């Protein structure tokens, strides 16, 4: 994940691994915080220092003390410490230890906590914020955001393998902005580590640095979604990109999940106006889903006189691991591998250090 083919190269603070091997760190775009004009920063645990970057050279300019604010300027950021005031196009909050926790606070986002170094930089006429973190801390944060607390350990172990693999497979989706993945559902939801508990960390440790790979040792496109409605779908049907790992699977385990069935009612007159304005054919269900914000594009249309009833199943694209189905299987005692073997085909486990082949093309997780 150290590969940077874009014009902009993020200055990394930890030593890369051998050439061709993915790193055990990851850079995550904190896109919610990028919207804020000002961000308040506080060390929740440990210590942090401010560093400026000029022509690739790092210069320490003062410790983070108490709550300090970093703000946008026309071409970067500005921050005032007790010893200095700095304005730069690239500023880093570096932890004394990799496990130290930083708290970021902004009006649009509220507060979140992260481990690792936070990079604030101006690139291509835009402000960016990226977290350089340990891959395992990132995976734990993804799990609490994607599946929440209170799940069986087998679910956490299985999903940790999926999320770790997904991150590696998609690690160049945001290369033009300098980071590997974003913190949105465009990649994987990631709201930091403030609510990660011991059960989640134990599940992650059970598969630490292990990855799902194909015959050539490449991370597979480990797509996942909330609920498949009883049958998962092939990647070829959803993205017109066939994958031997992402084929349809019958999944009765999710049939009674929270998102297995859904219904929407639309007044016929409103539908006619909307359809005319949007020029959308009802048969194009993928587009209808996107336009109306429906849980999935698997629905039937019923006639209720002055209204249309959209009766659907599932939540998300339906490809790969079904989260609610996996939860149910884990509750009933299925092992992590049994869960993964249900939803993915032709997969092997390999340690991160053994992955040297190029990654397979990435796909959306949702």
Q: What is the pLDDT of residues 84-123, one digit of tens each?
A: 788 999 999 999 998 999 999 999 899 999 999 999 999 9
- Residue 23 is predicted with a pLDDT of 66
User: What does the block give as tokens for 209?
Assistant: 């640095």
3-class secondary structure, 168: helix
User: What does the block give as tokens for 171?
Assistant: 């690690």
**Residues 24, 1: Cα–Cα separation, whole Å:** 8
- Residue 322 is predicted with a pLDDT of 98
3-class secondary structure, 149: coil
110 dihedral zone (left: phi>0; alpha: psi -120 to 50; beta): left
- Residue 210 is predicted with a pLDDT of 96
pTM, rounded to two decimals = 0.89
- Of 166, 154, 135, the C-alpha closest to 320 is 166
**Residues 188, 250: Cα–Cα separation, whole Å:** 25
- C-alpha distances (whole Å) from 177 to each of 8, 30, 130, 180, 254 are 7, 12, 9, 9, 37
**Residues 316, 290: Cα–Cα separation, whole Å:** 11
Count of CB atoms within 10 A of residue 258's CB?
12
- Residue 56 is predicted with a pLDDT of 82
**Which stretches of the chain score pLDDT less than 70?**
1-9, 14-23, 280, 356-366
Distance between the two ends of the chain, CA-based, in angstroms?
A: 22
What is the b/e burial string over 176-191, where b = at least 16 CB atoms within 10 angstroms of the residue's CB?
Answer: ebbbbbbbeebbbbbb
Q: What is the pLDDT of residues 16-60, one digit of tens each?
A: 544 445 568 899 999 999 999 999 999 999 999 999 998 888 998
Tell me the domain boundaries of the chain: 25-181, 261-313
Q: Which DSSP state fits 14?
A: S
């Amino acid at each position: 994940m150290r590969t940077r083919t874009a014009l902009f190269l993020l200055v990394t603070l930890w030593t890369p691994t051998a050439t061709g091997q993915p790193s055990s760190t990851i850079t995550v775009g904190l896109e919610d915080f990028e919207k804020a004009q000002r961000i308040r920063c506080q060390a929740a645990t440990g210590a942090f220092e401010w560093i400026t970057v000029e022509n690739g050279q790092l210069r320490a300019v003062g410790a983070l003390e108490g709550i300090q604010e970093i703000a946008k300027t026309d071409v970067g950021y500005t921050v005032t410490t007790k010893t200095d005031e700095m304005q730069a196009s690239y500023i880093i909050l570096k932890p004394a230890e990799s496990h130290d926790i930083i708290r970021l606070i902004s009006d649009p986002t509220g507060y979140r906590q992260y481990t690792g170094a936070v990079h604030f930089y101006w690139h291509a006429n835009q402000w960016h914020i990226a977290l350089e973190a340990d891959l395992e801390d990132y995976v734990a944060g993804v799990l609490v955001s994607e599946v929440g607390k209170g799940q069986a350990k087998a679910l956490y172990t299985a999903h940790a393998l999926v999320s770790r693999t997904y991150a590696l497979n998609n690690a160049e989706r945001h290369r033009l902005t300098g980071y590997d993945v974003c913190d949105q559902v465009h990649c994987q939801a990631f709201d930091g580590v403030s609510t990660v508990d011991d059960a989640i960390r134990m599940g992650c440790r059970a598969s630490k640095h292990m990855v799902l790979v194909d015959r050539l040792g490449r991370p597979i496109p480990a797509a996942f979604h909330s609920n498949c409605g009883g049958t998962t779908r092939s990647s070829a049907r959803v993205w017109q990109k066939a994958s031997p790992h992402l084929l349809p699977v019958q999944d009765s385990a999710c049939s009674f999940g929270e998102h297995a069935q859904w219904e929407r009612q639309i007044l016929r007159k409103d539908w006619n106006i909307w359809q005319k304005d949007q020029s959308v054919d009802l048969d194009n269900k993928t587009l209808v889903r996107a336009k109306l914000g429906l849980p999935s594009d698997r629905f039937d249309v019923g006639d209720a006189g002055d209204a249309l009833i959209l009766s659907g199943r599932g939540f998300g694209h339906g490809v790969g691991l079904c989260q609610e189905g996996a939860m149910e299987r884990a509750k009933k005692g299925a092992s992590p591998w049994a869960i993964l073997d249900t939803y993915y085909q032709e997969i092997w486990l390999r340690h991160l250090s053994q992955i040297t082949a190029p990654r397979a093309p990435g796909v959306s997780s949702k």
